[in-house]
A and B are shown apart, each in its own frame.
Chain A
Amino acid sequence: MQYRLNLWPKVESVCAHALLAGGLLYMSIPFMWMVGASFKKQSEIFQAPPTILPDQPVISNYIELFIEFNFLRHFLNSAFLAIVHTLLYLFFCALAGYAFAKYDFRLKNLLFLLLLGSMMVPGYTLFVPLFVLAIRLKLVDSYIGVLLPGIVGAFGIFFMKQNMESVPNELLDAARIDGTTEFGAFWRIARPLARPALAVLAVLAFLNSWNDFVWPLVILRTRELQTLPVILAGMIGLYRMEYGIVMAGSFLSALPVLILFLSMQRSFVQGLTVGALRG
C-alpha cells in the first residue's frame, strides 16, 4: 500500500511526459526538417539515410529564391495585403462589436442572430457567384477584390462584442456630457480600453490574410501581384521541383507570424479560446 502511494504518481508522471514528449517531437520535427532542408543542396536532400542537420550547409537556396522567384516582391505583396486587411478588419469589427455591446436598437437581436448564422455558410458555396460578381465589378486582378469581401467579419464582431461589454457605461456617459459624438466616445474611450482584445484579433486577422490561399489564387491573375502562399504552392507543380528552394520559401513565409506570435504568446492563447467557453 505504501509503495503504491509513492510510486503511482511517478509512473503517471513518466507516462504523461513521454506522451507529451512524443507530441512535442511530432509537432517540432517538420519545422526542423524544413529549416534543415532549406540549407541543403538538392543532392543532400535526396540522400539515404536522410540527415536532419545539413552536412554541408549552403545558402544558395535562399539566393535563388530571391533572384529567380522574385521572393521579396511576393513577400511585400503579402505583407501589404495582410497589414491593410488587419487595420480595416479591426476598425470595422470593433465598431460593430461596440454597437452590439453598448446600444439598444430595433432588430438588434434579429440582426445579431443573422450575424451568427452567417458563420455557418461554407465559403465554397459562394465561390462561383463571388467569382462572377468579382468579374462584373471589375475586381479581378486587383487588391481591392482580394480585400473587400473580408474587411469585416462575423467572428471579429462577435469577438469584439464580448470584449466591449466590459467598457464602463459611466465613462461613455461622461464623454457624452462633455459633448463628444457617439463615434468620439467609441474612438476615445472604448477603443483604448479594448486594446488587449484588439491585439489578439490583430494577430488572428494578420494570420488569416497572410496564410490565405484560395481567394488570392482565384482573384489574382498577374504573377507580380500574387501572394506568397500561391507562389509557394505553384512551386510544387514545377517540372523539376527544387525542394531546398521551396523549403527556404516556406520557412521565410512562416517566420513573420511565428515572431508575431512569440512576442505576444500569453494574451494570444487566452484570446483564442474566448469563443469556446461560451459555446
Chain B
Amino acid sequence: MMNGISRPESTVGLWYRYQRRLAPYIFISPFYILFVVFALGPLIAAFYFSMVKWAGTGPMTFLGAGNYLELFEDRIFLKSLGNTTYYAIGSVFVILPLALLLALMINAAVVRVKSLFRVAFIMPLLTSTVAATIMFLLMFEHQYGLFNAVLDAIGLTPLKWLDEELVKLSVLLVAAWRYTGLNMLYFLAGLQSIPPDVYEAAAVDGAGRWTTFWLITLPLLRPVSLFVVVITIIGSFQFFAEPLLLAGGGPNNASLTIANYLYRVGFQFLRMGYASAIGYVLAFIIFILTLLQLKLFGAFERT
C-alpha cells in the first residue's frame, strides 16, 4: 500500500530531478554540436588539407610543409599580405581616430541634435557591403563620378580612383564610410560610461582641457579602445567584398586581400590544399596580433 502510493511519486521525482540536472547541458548542446561539426572539425581538417595537394576531388598528395614554403615565395600572396596590412593600418590609424574625434564632439555639450548624428552615422553599417561598394563604384567613376566632379569644381585635377596607385585608398574610403559610425558608437558608449565626478574632480584640481583628455579620458577609454582596435584589426584582415567588387582585387592585384586570394586559389584554381594553408597563415596572423594587442593594452594584468 505504502509502495503503491510512493512509487509514482518517486518516478515523477526522479524524472523531475533528471531534467533539472540535464537541462543546462541540453540547452547549450546545439552550439557545441555545431561547433564540433562546423568549426572544430573543419579547423582540424583545414590543417590536414594545408599539407596536401588536392583539387577538391580525386587523390591527395602529401606535401608536408610544401604549401607553406611555397607561400613565402608566392609574389601574389606577399602582395595580398602587404595590401591587407595597409588596410589594417589605415583602419586603425585613420578610421579609429576619426571615430574617436566624432564621438568626443557628439559627447561634448556644445553639440545639438545628437540622435540625428547617431542615426546618420549608423545607416551605412546597415547597408550591405555589396550595395555600399556599388554606390561607391559609381562615385569613383573617372569621367562621371561624384568625387572627380567635386575635385573639378574646386579646381583640382580629377584622379583615377580605381587605378593601381589609388585603388587601396579608394577601398579605405568605402571602409571609412561603412565602419566609422560603428566605432564612433563604441567610443561614445565608452565616453558616456565615464562618471562625471571624475571630470569635476579634475576641474577642481585645475586641469585644463588637454590635460584632462590625455590623463583622464584616454586612460578611462582603454577597455573600449582595446575592444575597438581588436575587432578593427580582425575585421580588416578578413576584408573581402569591398576590394573584390570595387576592382576585382586588381588592377594588377593592387587591392587584393588575403581572403580574396584564398577564394581565388581555392574556388577558381581549385587548389584546396594551398588555399587551406593561406587560411592557416591568416588565422595565425590574427591570433598573434590579438595577443600582442592584449599585452600592449595590459589586459593580462589583473586590476
Contact = CB atoms under 8 A, between A and B. Distances in A.
Classify the interface of chain A: helix, strand, loop or mixed: helix
Interface string B268-292: 0000100110011011001100100
Contacts of B258: 124
A183 B226 CA distance: 37
A201 interface: no
B25 interface: yes
Contacts of B111: 13, 16-17, 20
Contacts of A92: 30-31
Interface residue tally of chain A, by bracket?
A: 35 or more
A31 B39 CA distance: 37
Contacts of B145: 50
Interface in A221-279: 228-230, 232-233, 236, 243, 246-247, 250-251, 253-254, 257-258, 261-262, 265-266, 269, 272-273, 275-279
Contacts of B116: 24
B117 A20 contact: yes
Contact of B35 (A20, A118, A124, A210): A118
Given A27-B123, A132-B45, A148-B38, A250 B131 contact: yes
Interface stretch (A41-49, A56-64, A66-74): A41-49
Contact of B137 (A108, A157, A236): A236
Nearest to B259: A124
B135 interface: yes
A276 B186 contact: yes
B137 A20 contact: no
A240 B238 CA distance: 30
Contacts of A250: 127, 130-131, 134-135
B102 A20 contact: yes
A65 interface: no
B223 interface: yes
A214 B240 contact: yes
B110 A16 contact: yes
Given A99-B28, A120-B286, A250-B131, A276 B190 contact: yes
B264 to A, nearest CB: 12
A50 B121 contact: no
B122 interface: yes
Interface string B193-232: 1000000000000000000000000000001101110100
Given A50-B145, A154-B31, A265-B119, A276 B224 contact: yes
A253 B224 contact: no
Nearest to B278: A124
A152 B149 contact: no
26 contacts: A13-B110, A20-B105, A49-B153, A95-B28, A118-B39, A120-B287, A121-B283, A124-B282, A125-B46, A126-B38, A126-B43, A127-B262, A128-B49, A130-B38, A130-B42, A149-B38, A182-B20, A207-B126, A233-B245, A236-B134, A236-B137, A250-B135, A254-B126, A254-B128, A273-B186, A276-B224
